[in-house]
């Protein structure tokens, strides 16, 4: 990818560019916990985005997307927003940097990526993080890493119409090879844990379905969680978010809240604990326990939180049947990928079975992405 980018860069703008990269992300465990003030546990992956960049001495950005074979040119004032969706991510990062007091002047860039778009691996965060990191280096702005992640998040909010949390940009900026990062979504404290699953592979199976339920269901889940937390708070005033509650405190209010809210809350409280259990297991190198927790999360998302779907449950059941170490739906649900922790020797038989049985049942093949936990935003020298 680097050579292809450079070839185009040289043809358009000549020599002398610097190369920056960032990554997509996975989340091993900790789903629907972010808006409940709980933990998420993401890491950057070996699929990402790369950009060659050089200052051009003007007040314009000239960008070329190799994947779309398309050029865009735009200024740096608020009213200069480009039309192309992909260019708005870069424009947004420039604007958000400027809003934070950073310097940004005109530059030329060619970029390309290999994160599948819209598959739940956050290609958009890879794009934002690459440019947020690069501009900070090129203009010596000295913006800290957390703020760089927020530049990406605000870009989504203010220039791309996506009201996302901080996890994706956080993972893509802070990611490190061989490490997952536990982020406390309430305090924003983070801690690295080793993730070197020797003898296992991490495999994403993309069901390639997206059920339209997602956004209204998401709002309903949030309401249920807030309602459960509000009832618990009457007995335990320190409970700010549902993630602060103990399981027994939820039991105390069981009769007061709809059964549905109880189940949603039961899932969230369990999931927060599972993240902690997975972190302990990783410190012991115990990947079998990690896998078991992934199955428990899937069960919770499917039966208690009810955000799975037929395709994802099918993939999960097949993984269980074949003795795959861990498997669960990743992301908000109602479609997208399962994330699977698979012993090397089971890798081929599992994927053969997935391809054959999923296709036979649903009439289209799933997509498979192998991922390795890798470095996030960086300069390539």
Cα torsion 29, 31, 35, 40 to 10°: value is 10
Part of the chain binding Mg ion (CB under 5 A), chosen from 42-50, 91-99, 102-110, 118-126: 118-126
344 binds, options ligand ADP, Mg ion, none, Cβ within 5 to 8 A by partner type: none
Asked if residues 127 and 116 have their Cβ atoms less than 8 Å apart, the reply is no
* List of long-range contacts for 210-216, beta carbons under 8 Å, 24+ apart: 210/334, 210/335, 210/336, 211/309, 211/334, 211/335, 213/334, 214/332, 214/333, 214/334, 214/335
Question: Is the Cβ–Cβ distance between 109 and 53 less than 8 Å?
Answer: yes
Please report whether residue 155 would count as binding Mg ion according to CB under 5 A.
Answer: no
User: Which CB atom, from 68 or from 379, has the smaller least distance to ligand ADP?
Assistant: 68
Q: Which stretch binds Mg ion (CB under 5 A): 115-123, 210-218, 230-238, 308-316?
A: 115-123
Nearer Cβ to ligand ADP (117/188) = 117
**Minimal distance in Å, beta carbon 65 to ligand ADP?**
4
- Shortest gap between Cβ of 108 and Mg ion (angstroms)? 25
Beta strands 107-113 and 60-65, pairing class: parallel
120 Rama sector, left if φ>0, alpha if ψ -120 to 50, beta otherwise: left
Q: Which is nearer to ligand ADP, 37 or 42 (CB)?
A: 42
Residue 124 found at the interface with Mg ion (CB under 5 A)? yes
Catalytic center residues: 168
Cβ proximity to Mg ion, 124 vs 374, nearer residue: 124
Q: Compute the least distance from the CB of residue 150 to ligand ADP, in Å.
A: 17
Pick 25 or 221: Cβ nearer ligand ADP = 25
Among ligand ADP, Mg ion, none, the one that 127 touches (CB under a kind-dependent 5 to 8 A) is ligand ADP
What's the farthest any 2 CA atoms get from each other in the chain?
70
Sign of CA dihedral 92, 94, 99, 105: negative
The structure tokens listed for 293 are 């927790």
CB-based contact 370:26 (threshold 8 Å): no
Positions touching ligand ADP (CB under 6 A) are 49, 65, 67-68, 85-86, 89, 112-113, 117-118, 120-124, 127
Whole-number minimum distance, CB 115 to ligand ADP, in Å? 6
Q: Given the rule CB under 5 A, which residues bind Mg ion?
A: 122, 124
């Amino acid at each position: 990818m680097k050579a292809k980018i450079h070839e185009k860069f040289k043809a358009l703008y000549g020599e002398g560019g610097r190369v920056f990269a960032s990554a997509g992300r996975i989340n091993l465990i900790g789903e629907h916990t972010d808006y409940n003030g709980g933990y998420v546990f993401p890491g950057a992956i070996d699929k990402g985005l790369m950009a060659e960049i050089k200052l051009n001495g003007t007040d314009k950005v000239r960008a070329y997307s190799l994947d779309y074979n398309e050029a865009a040119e735009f200024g740096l004032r608020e009213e200069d927003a480009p039309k192309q969706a992909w260019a708005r991510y870069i424009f947004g990062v420039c604007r958000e940097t400027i809003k934070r007091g950073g310097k940004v002047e005109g530059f030329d860039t060619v970029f390309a990526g290999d994160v599948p778009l819209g598959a739940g691996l956050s290609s958009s965060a890879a794009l934002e993080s690459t440019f947020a990191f690069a501009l900070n280096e090129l203009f010596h702005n000295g913006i800290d890493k957390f703020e760089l992640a927020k530049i990406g998040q605000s870009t989504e909010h203010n220039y791309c119409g996506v009201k996302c949390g901080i996890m994706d940009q956080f993972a893509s900026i802070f990611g490190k090879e061989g490490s997952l990062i536990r982020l406390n979504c309430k305090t924003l404290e983070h801690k690295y844990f080793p993730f070197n699953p020797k003898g296992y592979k991490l495999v994403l199976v993309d069901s390639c379905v997206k059920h339209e339920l997602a956004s209204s269901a998401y709002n309903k889940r949030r309401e249920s969680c807030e309602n459960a937390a509000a009832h618990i708070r009457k007995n335990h005033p320190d409970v700010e978010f549902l993630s602060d509650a103990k399981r027994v405190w939820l039991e105390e209010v069981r009769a007061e809240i709809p059964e549905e809210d109880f189940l949603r809350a039961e899932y969230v409280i369990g999931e927060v604990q599972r993240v902690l259990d997975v972190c302990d297991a990783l410190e012991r190198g115990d990947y079998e326990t990690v896998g078991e927790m992934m199955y428990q999360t899937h069960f919770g998302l499917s039966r208690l939180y009810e955000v799975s779907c037929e395709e994802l449950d099918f993939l999960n059941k097949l993984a269980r049947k074949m003795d795959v170490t861990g498997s669960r739906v990743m992301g908000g649900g109602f479609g997208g990928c399962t994330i699977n922790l698979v012993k090397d020797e089971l890798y081929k038989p599992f994927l053969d079975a997935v391809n054959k049985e999923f296709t036979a049942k649903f009439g289209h093949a799933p997509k498979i992405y192998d991922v390795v936990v890798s470095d996030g935003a960086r300069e390539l020298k």
